[in-house]
């Protein structure tokens, strides 16, 4: 083997050092070297949900593309390349083939589907479509389904019952589908739910009792419902809840007492509710809260300033 001259060797080592140093520098998120806040790094289609809370935790579950994490750290299966390829490709291929009838039914409905890297449907969006119970029955044949959005279409009891068996769901958005308190019974078995949006429905509060078992719930949107104070008592068991939207509901300051057990609550949206200056004293106990929305409420600048002083790091929008 031909030996490199010493000067050439030193030049090569120096080049490697420069490359490594450059890679390290490029990891900064901002010009001054400080990492950008999560809300600046990624946008959210719905500000009230503040999707930082809905993103899967690092090294756990699928990433944002639906790609499952390799929890073993072993990478691809061992053995020759041909065997490894077969081990990786055959099961997903069979899975994708098995769910083909369901996929075709949803495509005829004009629903929007997203697949993970194994070709399996993990997200469905069906907004403004006419949906029947028979069309929703096929959802049970999609084992990788994690996110479902249905909006701007009435769902009858039969259609809602089809959703109760989707125990693998992590994100469920049911906007303006005619939900009532009784209909929320479909949720009590969906224990994997982390993000739940029930905006623009007919929920007064009694049906929220069915949310008690959703112990993994982090984000809850109940905006634009005839929701009253007593219904908030059913949320006290949601210990992981960090984002709650109650905008355009009948909630008053009296209902805020029911939220005190929610120690992880960081974002609370009370836009256009019947809060007044005296109600803000109750919010002073939420020491982990970082964002509070009071737009359209009858609160003064003085009371907001006092609350801001009482809770370190709090940003109030009013």
* Rounded Cα distance, 243 and 231, in Å: 17
Which pLDDT tens digit goes with each residue over 72-122? Answer: 332 333 344 444 444 444 444 557 899 999 999 999 999 999 999 999 999
Q: Shortest CA distance to 192 belongs to which of 171, 174, 207?
A: 171
Tell which wins on pLDDT, 196 or 134. Answer: 196
- For residues 49 and 61, which has the higher predicted lDDT (pLDDT)? 49
- What are the domain boundaries of the chain? 103-317
Among 9-23, 144-158, 192-206, the minimum mean pLDDT is found in 9-23
pTM of the model: 0.72
Higher-confidence residue of 62 and 246: namely 246
Determine the pLDDT at residue 71: 32
Phi, psi of 255 (to 5 degrees): -75, -20
Average pLDDT, the chain: 79
What is the rounded distance in angstroms from the CA atom of residue 190 to the CA atom of residue 163? 9
Gyration radius of the chain over CA positions: 25
- Does the pLDDT at position 60 exceed 80? no
Q: What's the confidence (pLDDT) of residue 94? A: 58
d(CA 57, CA 55): 6
Q: Is residue 292 a contact partner of residue 315, using CB atoms and an 8 Å limit?
A: yes
Distance CA 288, CA 291 (A): 10
List pLDDT tens digits, range 288-303: 999 999 999 999 999 9
CA–CA distances in Å: residue 199 to residues 26, 49, 172, 224, 274: 41, 11, 11, 6, 18
Query: 6-10, 160-164, 279-283, 298-302: which range is least confident on average?
Result: 6-10
Residue 293 has φ and ψ, to the nearest 5°, of -110, 120
Q: What is the pLDDT of residues 8-51, one digit of tens each?
A: 444 444 444 433 343 343 333 333 333 333 333 333 334 444 44
Residue with tokens 């809060």: 275
CA–CA dist 103, 121 (Å, integer): 8
**Collapsed DSSP state (helix, strand, coil) of residue 277:** helix
* 3 state DSSP class of 123: strand
Contact 122, 146 (CB under 8 A): yes
Query: Could you report how far apart the first and last alpha carbons of the chain are, in Å?
Result: 74
Confidence band for 243, pLDDT divided at 50, 70 and 90: very high
pLDDT, residue 309, reads 93
The CATH homologous superfamily for domain 103-317 is Ribonuclease Inhibitor (3.80.10.10)
Give the Cα separation of 268 and 104 in Å (integer): 40
- pLDDT at position 286 over 90: yes
Percent of the chain with pLDDT over 90: 66
pLDDT at residue 56 in the model: 34
- CA-CA distance, 122 to 143, in Å (whole number)? 8
Q: What is the pLDDT of residue 96?
A: 85
């Amino acid at each position: 083997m031909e030996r490199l001259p010493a000067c050439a060797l030193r030049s090569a080592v120096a080049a490697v050092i420069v490359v490594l140093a450059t890679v390290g520098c490029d990891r900064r998120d901002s010009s001054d070297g400080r990492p950008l806040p999560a809300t600046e790094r990624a946008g959210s289609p719905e500000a009230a949900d503040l999707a930082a809370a809905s993103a899967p935790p690092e090294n756990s579950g699928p990433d944002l593309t639906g790609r499952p994490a390799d929890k073993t750290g072993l990478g691809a299966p061992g053995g020759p390349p041909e065997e490894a390829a077969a081990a990786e490709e055959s099961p997903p291929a069979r899975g994708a083939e098995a769910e083909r009838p369901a996929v075709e039914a949803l495509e005829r409905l004009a629903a929007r589907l997203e697949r993970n890297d194994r070709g399996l449907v993990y997200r469905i969006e069906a907004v403004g479509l006419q949906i029947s119970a028979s069309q929703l029955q096929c959802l049970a044949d999609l084992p990788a389904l994690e996110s479902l959005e249905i909006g701007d279409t009435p769902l009858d009891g039969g259609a809602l019952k089809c959703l109760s068996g989707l125990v693998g769901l992590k994100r469920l958005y049911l906007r303006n589908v005619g939900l009532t308190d009784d209909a929320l019974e479909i949720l009590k078995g969906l224990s994997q739910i982390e993000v739940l949006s029930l905006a623009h429905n007919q929920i007064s509060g009694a049906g929220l009792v069915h949310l008690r078992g959703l112990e993994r719930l982090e984000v809850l949107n109940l905006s634009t419902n005839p929701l009253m104070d007593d219904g908030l008592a059913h949320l006290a068991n949601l210990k992981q809840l960090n984002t709650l939207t109650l905008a355009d509901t009948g909630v008053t300051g009296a209902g805020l007492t029911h939220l005190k057990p929610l120690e992880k609550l960081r974002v609370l949206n009370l836009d256009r509710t019947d809060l007044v200056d005296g109600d803000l004293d109750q919010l002073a106990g939420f020491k982990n809260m970082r964002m509070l929305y009071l737009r359209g409420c009858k609160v003064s600048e003085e009371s907001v300033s006092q609350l801001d002083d009482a809770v370190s790091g709090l940003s109030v929008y009013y």
